[in-house]
Chains A and B, each alone.
Chain A
Amino acid sequence: MIEPMTTNKSGQLRAIAWLRWRLFVNGLRSKRARLELLSQVIVSIAFAIGGFGGAAVMAGMTFFILERGKPELIAILLWIVFFFWQLFPIMATAFTNNPDSSELLRFPLSYRSYFLVRMAYGAFDPATFLGSLWSFGILLGVGFAKATLLPWTLLVLLTFAAFNLLFMQMIFAWVERWLAQRRTREVLGILFVLVMLSLQMIGPLTGYFGRRARPGVIKFVEAIYPAQGILPPGLAADAVTQAISSQFMTSVSSLALLCAFALIIGYSLHVRLLAQYRGENLSEVAAASALPRDRSLRLGWNLPGFSSPVAAVFEKEIRYLLRSGPMLLTLIMPIFVLVIFRFGPMHSVRHSGSFLARTPDTAFPAAAGYTLLMLTNLVYNNFGGDAGGIQFFLASPVSFREIVLGKNLTHAAILAVETIVAWMGVSYLYGRPTFDVTIATLAGLLFAAPVNFSVGNLLSIYSPKKLDYSTFGRQRASQVTVLISLGLQIVVVGIGATVFWVARHYGNSWIATVILLLLAGISLSGYAVVLGRMDHIAEEWRETLVAELCRA
Chain B
Amino acid sequence: MEAAPTISTQGLTRRFGELLAVDGIDLQVSPGQFFGFLGPNGAGKSTTIKMLTGLLAPSSGRIEILGIDLTAHPVEVKRQIGVVPEGMALFGRLTGPEFLNFAGRMYGLDRETTAKRAAELLDFMQLADQPKKLVTDYSHGMQKKLAMAAAVIHGPKVLFLDEPFEGVDAIAAGTLKTMLQGMIARGATIFLTSHVLEIVERLCSHVAIIHKGRLVAQGSLEELRAGVEAQTPAGLVDNSGDGSVNGARPSGEKMTLEQIFLRTVGGSRPAEQELSWLG
Contacts and interface: CB of A to CB of B under 8 A. Distances in A.
A319 B105 contact: no
A388 B87 contact: yes
A404 B123 CA distance: 32
A293 B78 CA distance: 33
A295 interface: yes
Contact of B91 (A289, A294, A392, A550): A392
Contact of A397 (B79, B85, B90): B79
Interface in A238-286: 284-286
A391 B87 contact: yes
Nearest to B140: A285
B57 interface: yes
Interface in A500-552: 539, 542-543, 546, 550
A65 interface: no
Interface in A126-161: none
Contact of A285 (B104, B139, B279): B139
Contact of A324 (B57, B93, B105): B93
A299 interface: yes
B35 interface: no
B18 interface: no
- Where chain A touches its partner, the secondary structure class is loop
B101 A398 contact: no
B129 A291 contact: yes
B201 to A, nearest CB: 28
Interface stretch (A51-59, A200-208, A310-318, A361-369): A310-318
Interface size class on chain B is 35 or more
A530 B40 CA distance: 42
A395 B54 contact: yes
B137 interface: yes
Interface in A208-240: none
B129 A289 contact: yes
Contacts of B101: 298-300, 312
A297 interface: yes
Contacts of B114: 299-300
Contacts of A284: 137
B31 to A, nearest CB: 20
Given A392-B90, A542-B57, A308 B105 contact: yes
Interface of B: 53-57, 74-79, 83, 85-94, 97-98, 101-112, 114-116, 119, 128-134, 136-137, 139, 150, 279
3 smallest beta-carbon distances between A and B, as pairs: A391-B89, A397-B78, A397-B79
Given A286-B137, A392-B103, 9 more contacts: A182-B134, A182-B137, A288-B130, A299-B111, A300-B105, A315-B102, A392-B90, A395-B78, A542-B55
23 contacts: A182-B137, A286-B137, A289-B129, A293-B131, A295-B119, A298-B101, A299-B112, A300-B111, A308-B110, A308-B111, A320-B93, A320-B94, A388-B87, A389-B90, A391-B55, A391-B85, A392-B89, A395-B85, A396-B103, A396-B106, A397-B108, A470-B93, A543-B56
Interface of A: 1-2, 182, 284-286, 288-291, 293-295, 297-300, 302, 308-309, 311-313, 315-316, 319-320, 323-324, 385-392, 394-399, 469-470, 539, 542-543, 546, 550
